[in-house]
């Protein structure tokens, strides 16, 4: 299985994190941890942090998945609150 990405920063304009293998990060928002609203995607190379610039509503959580180069998708990351 592919390890879920780790979100290291979430604010109203940006989400950042790390991943264990190269692939595509998809970022979501909702009041819990169910990935209700798709926010966008970012490339991840497993060396540098990935980053997505977007508009995030405060008081919600962001989660992310990682799809690796073999098209295997991780479970959702731990939710991170947007201040």
- From 72, 20, 65, select the one nearest 39 (Cα to Cα): 65
d(CA 24, CA 69): 8
What pLDDT shows up at residue 12? 94
For the chain, give the percent of residues with pLDDT over 90. Answer: 90
Residues 24-59: pLDDT tens digits?
999 999 998 889 999 999 999 999 999 999 998 889
Residue among 57, 55, 3 nearest 25 (CA): 3
């Amino acid at each position: 299985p592919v390890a879920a990405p780790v979100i290291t920063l979430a604010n109203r304009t940006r989400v950042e994190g790390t991943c264990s293998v190269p692939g595509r990060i998809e970022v979501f928002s909702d009041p819990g941890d169910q990935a209700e609203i798709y926010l966008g995607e970012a490339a991840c190379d497993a060396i540098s942090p990935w980053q997505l610039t977007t508009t995030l509503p405060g008081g919600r959580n962001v989660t992310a998945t990682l799809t690796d180069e073999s098209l295997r998708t991780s479970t959702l990351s731990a939710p991170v609150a947007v201040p």
